[in-house]
Structure formats: structure tokens, C-alpha cells
Structure 1
Amino acid sequence: MRIGIGFDAHRFEKGRELVLCGVAIPYEMGLLGHSDADCPLHALIDAMFGAAAMGDIGMHFPDSDAAYKGISSLLLLKMANDKLKEKDFCVNNCDITIIAQKPKLAPYIDKMRKNIAEVLGISLDRVSVKATTTEGLGFTGRQEGIACMAVASIREID
């Protein structure tokens, strides 16, 4: 068993769709990024790669590569999972915390979990997604963007 952690943050940008864990969230702004800027999935991918000592998301999917412009991070998650499998690893479980003052995310958490479980090929009870605020503190509290933390445990494939 191995464990990795990941962190990601993106600033809000008007005129972009807000996508978190593959779910489009109705909101006045989205996140700025080269891909769809799906912050929690980027943190999860980093946690997965970290657990396998495979570097980070930028090494595998650089923002300088036009192939990843606007790409769905659910697809990046699938590609990251495939890279883990090439090294004979699979995700055992994962836990994500989304840090955002707004919007309220509780109505979307179940769909987020289902998306991740489906892509990783693991049961729903092995995927945790939570949301919290910073009680108005910092850039997330000022509603300038969203930050995410993730932990993933991986194991060797039998």
C-alpha cells in the first residue's frame, strides 16, 4: 500500500464553466486553466502520481501541450489511472476536500463521487468528496478561486 497527497488551486474567471469532479456547477464564474480547470481532479491526479512516485500532473499532461487545451479532467483522470496500471498499481481509495466559499456544493457531491468511482473502476464507498469553506479567510474566502486537497492510496495489482 502506498499513499500520496495532492493540492491544486485555480482562480475564478468570468465566462468559463465551473466544472468540479466532472460535474458542471451553475455559477457566475468558472475556473481559469489550460484544461477544464477541474481543481479537485487535478489534486487527485497529483495524489495518485505521488503515491506511485511518478512525478506530478504537469509532467504527464503539461499545459504547454495543445493536446490538453480544454480537455475534460475526467479524461485526464482516466489517462492517469491507465499510467498507474502500466506500473502495476491501482487506486484503493481516495479522499478529496474542495475549499470554496461559494458556490454551495452539497447538492453535487454524490454525482462527483460517482464520476470518480466510475473512471477509476472502484466502488463508490472508496471515494470521498467533501466541501468546506475558510469562513471568509484567504483567497477562497474572498471568492477569488477554489483550492483542493486530495489523498489517494494505491496498491499493487494482484
Structure 2
Amino acid sequence: MGHPSVGLGFDAHRFDPTGGRPLWLACLSWDEGTPGLLGDSDGDAAAHALIDAMLSAADLGDIGTLFGLGSQAPGAGMHGAAMLEKTVDCLHGHGRRLLNASLVIVGQRPRIASRRHLAQQAMSQAVGAPVRLTATTTDGMGFTGHNEGIAVMAAALVG
């Protein structure tokens, strides 16, 4: 195992204006009237930010390095949990492992507090390490404050 190192990740996606996609966030489906997030995969910005944080901590690039970009990329259509599991496999292949992670979800909706525990469990299960979530709004500022999408920041400790 390598020396412990911290990586940071960030991701943001717009809501699907057609409402035709389900919302996947933090490895959970949120069926509460909030539209899904646009993206080549399921749009799970929390999973994507955590992937970038883990890869950064291990000096293995970023989400595009592992999954590619665009609708024909290897990661296209994948769910966030499957992407996280593949990222963990990549870390293990390089003699590294996730020790823990923390994420902050920025947006007006969905309300994270009601399902925080389930989301933490789902993400922790996908990566095999403790994952903690917090959520905040931007008091009406920017695209998240105008309810146009969600942004997520993540920190990961990898050993």
C-alpha cells in the first residue's frame, strides 16, 4: 500500500430539461419529481466527483482517463455505483485503496437529509470504505442556486 494521500474531485451536471431521465445521485434513484442529470452515464455527479478524488489521490488521472468521454466511451450508460466499483478495482490494481471519503452536494434539490444515511450506505458499499455526505445550497446564486443543476465536491483519502 502506498503512503496515504488526499485527492479532490468536482463534478457538475445540468438537470434534463425534458424530464425524461431518472435522477441518480449518490448511487440512489431519487423519485421525487426532480429531473435527472444530463451526462454520458447516469449523470450521478456525486459518484463522478468521488471517482476524480480517488484517482487524483492515487495519481491515476481523472474520470476521463478511466472511462473516456462521449456517448461512445466505455463509461457511457454506466451507473455511478458500477463506475465506483471499477475505480476501486483500478486502485487495487495499483496497490492502493480508498480509506475514506467526504462529499458535499450543492443544489436546491433533492433534499439530501431525508436519505443521507441510505446514500452514505450505498456509496460506502460501492467503494468498500466509509463515505460521508453533506449538502448545501448557494442561497440562490449561480446555476445550482437557480435550480439548473447540481454540483458536488469530494475529498478522498487513499492509502
**Is the TM-score greater than 0.5?**
yes
Partner of 1:3: 6
Q: Does 1:137 align with 2:141?
A: yes
Runs (4 or more) in structure 1 with deviation over 4 Å come to none
Partner of 1:116: 123
Give TM-score scaled by structure 1 length. Answer: 0.92
CA RMSD in angstroms comes to 1.1
CA distance in 2, matches of 1:54, 1:66: 18
The more displaced of 101-110 and 90-99 is 101-110
Partner of 1:154: 158
How many correspondences in the alignment? 152
Q: Does 1:17 align with 2:22?
A: yes
Q: Structure 2: 5+ residue runs without aligned partners?
A: none
Write the mapping of 1:71-110 to structure 2, written as runs, cut at 5 A. 71-110=78-117
The more displaced of 132-141 and 57-66 is 57-66
Q: Structure 1: 5+ residue runs without aligned partners?
A: none
What's the secondary structure of 2:15's corresponding residue?
strand
CA distance in 2, matches of 1:110, 1:3: 24
Conservation of the 8 A alpha-carbon contact between 2:34 and 2:109? no
Conservation of the 8 A alpha-carbon contact between 2:67 and 2:73? no
Give TM-score scaled by structure 2 length. Answer: 0.91
Conservation of the 8 A alpha-carbon contact between 1:23 and 1:108? no
